[in-house]
Structure 1
Amino acid sequence: MKPTLTIVGAGKVGRVLGRQFVQHDVFELRQILNRSLSSAQSARDFIGAGVAIDNWADLKAADMMMLTVPDDQIKSCAAQLVRLDLIGPTTIVFHCSGALGASELGLLRGAASLHPVRSFADPENVAQHFSKTICSLEGDADATAVLTKALEQIDAQVVPLESAGKTLYHAAAVFASNYLVTLMDTALTTYQAAGIPLEMAQRLAAPLAQETLSNVFRIGAQQALTGPIARGDLATVARHQSALDQVDRDTARLYQELAQATLRMKQRRQ
């Protein structure tokens, strides 16, 4: 008999994981609790199973409780499960925050954090191509053992984490994803400041960014570095800095910080 699963806060991540667990016959999805009934019904339609509810009073106990709510709601949602007496001695409660550990749940046992290392901007696309997704896992030994088996059943790759490293792990993910977007936005706006229309700026930036990122993972970050700092052309860097100072001081400061970080990286290579 399959373990039962209830999802609290089925947004993009909850919907994708819920569909994986249902389609691979890992858990029996019992309920989906969202703030509004329409949202819960939409999640149910995406996942293909479960009963949609919008009231904590209608929530029933399940073997697995997955909290895919915003980070600042994890603690209060876990406390609500305790108040409603929905956590038994064998219940596993896990959240999907990349930044917070299992301790955020405030439970003595059965607590874990599961973080799929993907961008969920397009849930349908992620759901269709979820196989081989890397998922970090941290928390209670019994809970992580059960979740490791479940993740293997949906063809995910599991990376165990120590609780002490969770925050740095998430900071690394932010560098690799969120701040990469910020950096590319800065490049595009700088192209436009040079008089190049956005569409052409995108065409200029795309091959540079894509090939550079490919090189980082093919030959390593230090070997992938090219450009004025890599060749010791600090006069060009100074001209860039001067031009940016006249256009946008915030962009100029960002360029300066990145130039200094790149110089340190080059020195490590030598």
Structure 2
Amino acid sequence: MNAQPTPDRPSPQDRPARLTVGVVGAGRVGPALAASLQLAGHRPVAVSGVSDASLRRAAEILPGVPVVPPAEVLARAELVLLTVPDDVLPGLVAGLAETGAVRPGQLLAHTSGRHGAAVLDPATRAGALPLALHPAMTFTGTPVDVQRLAGCSFGVTAPEELRLAAEALVIEMGGEPEWIDEAARPLYHAALAIGANHLVTLMAQAMELLSAAGVGNPSRMLGPLLGAALDNALRSGDAALTGPVARGDAGTVAAHVTELRRHAPQAVAGYLAMARTTADRALAHGLLKPELAEDLLGVLADEANAAGGTGGAGGPGGTNGPDGTAGSGPVDGGEQ
């Protein structure tokens, strides 16, 4: 990888290489973070991977760095990045601690959004220094991710005595540290999932519906609209709400649901849930007139009842599957 230093990332010769870096889980996240630390003068020395895709990714983003088992990664590195899915992380940490792989004084940093530093307690009891460094960014698993880290916010959680070290590592990766209390990590992660993961689902569904309506290039139609909507929402919050729900156009909303039932019944539950949430927020912020809200909320309630209540494919309450690739065991870990 031939990423170049930027004003925010001093060249390696401008600062000494202070830490050897290892990665457990060569998914989309770990190699990018290690490569970014390499630009800051640190030295990646080992990476573990499970799948063929992870091995190719490690070879592309961290060329020349040996692929070894997770315990060997810990044996070689002073700073270890645990970049595995949220649900895999507790078992991985416990397995590494039980096998004696953790060394006293070793920096152990995970990239889970859900977990704080407490998930590393088994390793902390073995003498490790625990850090939670979660980049608020989607990753492609290609070298472009290293450049995308510039200006990316990281949710940082660590013991108070390690706070400066955690924040310094984030800054060296070109990121912006944002301190998150241990107890607030699940709420923080839920907010990001709503904003990013659900956005992808909504956009994919919107493109499918436009295609069904005969639009030849849905992404071209949605691009300017969504760009403006995102910009307005980030600037103005609920004041940026527009459309039939915010206006109280109950007849239009009813017509939408009728068409969705006919052409895309799987989209009805999501439409009703988001319309109700939008109506509640528009009403609370004075955008939806109370006299119009009654008819609108009545339509939404009637349609929700017609959809069969909650649960199942036709009603609200369904969930997506887990994000990331599951690991092969508590010590081998998965890849994030």
TM-score with structure 1 length normalisation?
0.88
Match of 2:265 among 239, 243, 249: 249
Which deviations, in whole Å up to 9, do the C-alpha atoms of 1:40-72 show, x marking residues without a partner?
Answer: 575154134633224645751532221112223
Distance, in Å, in 2 between the alignment partners of 1:239 and 1:40 is: 51
Give the equivalent residue in structure 1 for 2:225: 208
State the secondary structure of the residue aligned to 1:135: strand
The one-letter code matched in structure 1 to 2:92 is C
The one-letter code matched in structure 2 to 1:28 is R
The answer to whether the aligner puts 1:137 opposite 2:153 as a matched pair is no
Give the equivalent residue in structure 2 for 1:152: 171
Check conservation: 2:155, 2:180, Cα contact below 8 A: yes
Check conservation: 2:209, 2:264, Cα contact below 8 A: no
Which deviations, in whole Å up to 9, do the C-alpha atoms of 1:102-154 show, x marking residues without a partner?
Answer: 22223346222111011102532221232111111113233433121121223
The answer to whether the aligner puts 1:167 opposite 2:182 as a matched pair is no
The one-letter code matched in structure 2 to 1:85 is G
The number of residue pairs the alignment matches comes to 266
Q: Share of identical aligned residues, percent?
A: 27
CA separation of 1:101/1:34 partners in 2, compared to 1, >3 Å: closer, same or farther?
same
State the secondary structure of the residue aligned to 2:144: helix
State the 1:240 CA deviation.
Answer: 1.3
Check conservation: 1:3, 1:64, Cα contact below 8 A: yes
State the 1:31 CA deviation.
Answer: 1.5
The 4+ residue runs of structure 1 with deviation greater than 4 A are 36-42
State the secondary structure of the residue aligned to 2:67: strand
Match of 1:228 among 214, 235, 244: 244
CA separation of 1:243/1:49 partners in 2, compared to 1, >3 Å: closer, same or farther?
same
**Superposed CA RMSD:** 2.4
Which deviations, in whole Å up to 9, do the C-alpha atoms of 1:175-195 show, x marking residues without a partner?
Answer: 11111011112212222332x
Structure 1 segments unaligned to the other structure (5+ residues): none
The answer to whether the aligner puts 1:6 opposite 2:22 as a matched pair is yes
Give the equivalent residue in structure 1 for 2:210: 191
Check conservation: 1:33, 1:54, Cα contact below 8 A: yes
State the secondary structure of the residue aligned to 2:133: strand
State the secondary structure of the residue aligned to 2:243: coil
Match of 2:199 among 147, 157, 180: 180
TM-score with structure 2 length normalisation?
0.72
Structure 2 segments unaligned to the other structure (5+ residues): 1-16, 287-336
Which deviations, in whole Å up to 9, do the C-alpha atoms of 1:61-110 show, x marking residues without a partner?
Answer: 53222111222332232233323433233222121111222222233462
